[in-house]
Amino acid sequence: MENDQKPSIKVIPLGGLGEIGLNMMLIIWKDSAFILDAGLMFPDDSMPGVDYVIQDLNVLTRIKQNILGIVITHAHEDHIGALPYLLKKVNAPIYATSLTMGFIENKFEEFDLLTSSDRNVVTTASPIQLGPFLIDFFAMCHSVPDAVGVAVETPIGRLIFSGDFKIDLNPIDGKLCDFEKLRRYAQEGVLALFSDSTNVEVPGHTRSENSLRPSFENIFAKASGRILIATFASNIHRLQQVLTVAKQFNRKVALVGRSMAANARIAVDRGYLKVPENILVDMKELEHIPDEKVTVLSTGSQGEPMSALSLMASERHKYLKVKAGDTIIFSSRFIPGNEKAINNIINELFSRGANVLYEKISDVHVSGHGRQEELLDLLRLVSPKYFIPIHGEYRHLSRHARLAIEEGIPEENVLVATNGDVIEITPDGIAVREQIDAGKVYVHGKGVGDIGRDVLRDRRTISEMGMITIFLVVSSHDGRLLSGPELSSIGVTYDEIEPELMGGAKKAILERISDLHPTGPNDWENVRDDIRLVARRHVNRLLGRKPVVQTIILQV
């Protein structure tokens, strides 16, 4: 970044603006910087085979600033999931609260990063100094405990980043949002507020997590068989609710799913989850316990194909199968993009005789994000000079910006930014001065960044139209066709129809080859596309489809 005449803070969102997930920001003062959050994004239907999406972290190697640290607000994957990949690009210490650090360390164990990473547990009682940045943490309520917002004291004023939050006046753990700190910040002056926009379209206030207690008690009182509850493994408050109600109704609880068991263990070890005595059992023991005494806490609330609940529903789980009389609760929201998978598994569960409850028909979930009135409460409490909405699709950011303007912040002091915008903040104004390329990288298995738009396009076409492979053997001496063309297809049509379809395509290819008269090895390379197009047109003429066609020419 070029030096400016006026001293300014620069904030660059590298993810999380104009989308849900992928949250990451770079905060810069002159030649010093730190990173706020490092999250991933889960794929949608347009990304077949992709495990998840991360930021194009190469941008960090192109900037000249010294990155002094990585500060994390809470333990959700859309805020910590990219950390293992970030550490390959940036050698900087990590700062997070205790439970958040526990989840990070569990992740780092899988990536063999425990010994090489510099990890520091922070509290809301003690700020940290990173070069010119004095960073203070304040408690915020969310669907994972130990979430914080961040106040950054800079040479030209204070920036506040809300993190993901709701204003819960009756939280499970009794830890309220730190209104006193927020009031003090406002009294001292806040230059800019960056605030969560996820639930801005919903009027009113988000209900307290504690409001679910009567609903769970009612379900437990009526259920005559097993109760299986699918929720996010990070929602420790929801786990606490289930454990408490299960104890009340004299039920044993099994934790099913690797992340469910791991997160519960971490939360217990660090004092964030209180497990009633003698309530937990191994899932192998459940067959010896009467159904009316069994509760299962499971992963799979988003219909993930290899999750514990999906395996149970399809009778592929080693120890548990869904059966008639089970009550199954999806205690989470349907994340956009996952609706089809969730609905499919719900239908499967109903077909096996289970009674399935979910947010649309039953009171089994509350959000961890604040609605309009809570967003306004934060805005009024902090009273910033400048306002920048974050965390949400563009419509969320725009709506949040309008709320701020309606609340009295001057329109010229409200900025709707997108990923890659270099937001420049001075005491005299706020603006986007330039744009950098903030791209995305697809992760599939061990491959990071080896899948691009062309690969995804081919995958989508194969999944929708199928693929045909054409194999020919030609002489490397005189170009004569020695064998073929042999054709095979995957996912194009029924096996019974394939011979007729491929036979016609083979005839069309041979006619095209005879018209082109390839006489040498190089000629065959020149006709490769002609062969592909002939086969594709033949299939499209008969079936109205355009499959991916791969032509393999072997010279011998």
**What tokens does 28 get?**
């810069």
Q: What is the pLDDT of residue 2?
A: 47
- From CA 290, how far away is CA 72, in angstroms rounded? 44
How are strands ordered across the β-sheet holding 327-330?
Answer: 252-256, 294-298, 227-230, 327-330, 355-357
Q: What is the pLDDT of residue 496?
A: 47
Tell me which of 237, 369, 391, 538 is the catalytic residue. 369
- From CA 141, how far away is CA 172, in angstroms rounded? 10
Show the low-confidence residues of the chain (pLDDT under 50).
1-4, 447, 449-450, 496
> Annotated catalytic, 196?
yes
Q: What is the pLDDT of residue 435?
A: 92
Q: What is the pLDDT of residue 450?
A: 47
Nearest CA-CA partner of 27 in 424, 439, 434: 424
Reported CATH class of domain 466-555? alpha beta
**Could you write out the three-class secondary structure of 361-378?**
CCCCCCCCCCCHHHHHHH
Close Cβ partners of 94 (under 8 Å, ≥ 6 residues apart): 69, 70, 72, 83, 101, 104, 117, 118, 119, 120
How are strands ordered across the β-sheet holding 481-490?
Answer: 481-490, 467-474, 548-555
**Helices 213-222/236-248 angle, 10° precision:** 40
- From CA 226, how far away is CA 228, in angstroms rounded? 6
Tell me which of 196, 237, 317, 538 is the catalytic residue. 196
Predicted TM-score (pTM) of the model is 0.83
Alpha helix (H) residue ranges in 223-369: 236-248, 258-269, 308-313, 339-351
Q: What is the pLDDT of residue 150?
A: 98
The amino acid at 336: P
Ordered by start, the domain boundaries in the chain are: 9-204+367-448, 209-357, 466-555
Nearest CA-CA partner of 437 in 179, 3, 63: 63
Nearest CA-CA partner of 396 in 15, 18, 12, 14: 18
What's domain 209-357's superfamily in CATH? Metallo-hydrolase/oxidoreductase (3.40.50.10710)
pLDDT, one tens digit per residue, over 69-88 is 999 999 999 999 999 999 98
Q: Which CATH architecture has domain 9-204+367-448?
A: 4-Layer Sandwich (3.60)
Q: What is the pLDDT of residue 551?
A: 76
